[in-house]
Amino acid sequence: MKERVLSGMQASGMIHLGNLVGALSNWVKLQDEYDCYYFVADWHALTTGYADPSLIKEYTKDILINFLAAGLDPEKCTIFLQSRVLEHAELHLLLSMITPLGWLERVPTYKEKQEELRDKDLSTYGFLGYPLLQTADIIIYRAKYVPVGIDQVPHLEISREIARRFNYIYKEIFPEPEALLTEFPKVVGVDGRKMSKSYGNAIFLSDNQEEVERKIMTMVTDPARVKRADPGNPERSPVYQLHKIFSSKKELDEVAVGCATAGIGCIDCKKILLKNIFKILEPIWKKRNELINKPEILYDIVKKGSERAKITAEETMQLVREAMGLF
């Protein structure tokens, strides 16, 4: 029996290269070794986006398309939509009975996100319960590993605590899920900050060739390199940071030396990067187009995946209802 892995992506933005390198590519590798469950967290998108849900559907579709375009194979893993497996909501409710408010209030991301998104009213029950819903997502499949970024570690910690508390009060049903932290290269955006949908600096998988080209060719480089003849410091250039991820060792050395000696201009350096990014994006674009032209295939995969997820979730829920004294 393969060990179970579960992870989700919140439907609150279009998927970009940072998501691909930081999460999706790793998920694709895991599907051969583990019994993987991957889903779109569309309910989670409502915790911060409830006031304007107009884009959630589009984001959900973009994520699902990119799951498949990046190489997730519905024959190997279970791909589903959170809102199609109602058992997550039932478990969330039942867990809410045993979750001390203080645990939720102390999750560091709670106060941080409220501060960060001060223009939104996040003094809601749903927002406080974000990590509890996430806990339900994970433990309903009794998943052992959860591949996530370092930012999700506090959420995983509370998931473990809640699983432990349930097991202690009622019955040993839930394994404590572990974060599967992989060392990912940090993907910078076109302005040199971390690539993020909220900074307006991302290269999206849905961007076409011209858009990607425009974004790369207008990227900032080492600000000290004003003229072509000025030598630069590659470490100060976000273009070089992207080369580290997308280019071969040989090309990386060439552009580093070329930059430092003014042997190569920024435009040529960017062209090499562009070629390598295209190499990654081209097969993804091809599969995206197939799916965009045949949405029935996508709907069918999600429907079947959600049904499959539901079977596993329902098995757990029978144990939970029984343990919690329900008829």
Residues marked active site are found at 113, 194, 197
CB of residue 9 vs ligand TRP: minimum separation in angstroms? 6
Query: Does 8 interact with ligand TRP (rule: CB under 6 A)?
Result: yes
Q: Which stretch binds ligand TRP (CB under 6 A): 3-11, 57-65, 89-97, 254-262?
A: 3-11
Query: Does 21 interact with ligand TRP (rule: CB under 6 A)?
Result: no
Nearer to ligand TRP, 37 or 246 (CB): 37
Residue span 97-136 as binding mask against ligand TRP, x where in contact by CB under 6 A, dash where not: -------------------------------------x--
Query: Does 78 interact with ligand TRP (rule: CB under 6 A)?
Result: no
Q: Which stretch binds ligand TRP (CB under 6 A): 2-10, 48-56, 203-211, 228-236?
A: 2-10
Q: What is the 3-state secondary structure (H, E, C) of the chain?
A: CCCEEEEEEECCCCCEHHHHHHHHHHHHHHCCCCEEEEEEEHHHHHHHHCCCHHHHHHHHHHHHHHHHHCCCCCCCCEEEEHHHCCHHHHHHHHHHCCCCHHHHHCCHHHHHHHHHCCCCCCCCHHHHCHHHHHHHHHHCCCCCEEECCHHHHHHHHHHHHHHHHHHHHCCCCCCCCEEECCCCCCCECCCCCECCHHHCCCCECCCCHHHHHHHHHCCCCCCCCCCCCCCCCHHHCHHHHHHHHHCCHHHHHHHHHHHHCCCCCHHHHHHHHHHHHHHHHHHHHHHHHHHHHCHHHHHHHHHHHHHHHHHHHHHHHHHHHHHCCCC
Query: Does 201 interact with ligand TRP (rule: CB under 6 A)?
Result: no
Residue nearest ligand TRP (C-beta atom): 8
Work out which of 69, 77, 85, 146 binds ligand TRP, going by CB under 6 A: 146
**Per CB under 6 A, which of residues 150..169 are in contact with ligand TRP?**
152
CB of residue 10 vs ligand TRP: minimum separation in angstroms? 4
Q: Give the binding-site size for ligand TRP (rule: CB under 6 A).
A: 13
Query: Does 41 interact with ligand TRP (rule: CB under 6 A)?
Result: yes
Interacting residue ranges for ligand TRP, rule: CB under 6 A: 6-10, 41, 44, 134, 137-138, 146, 148, 152
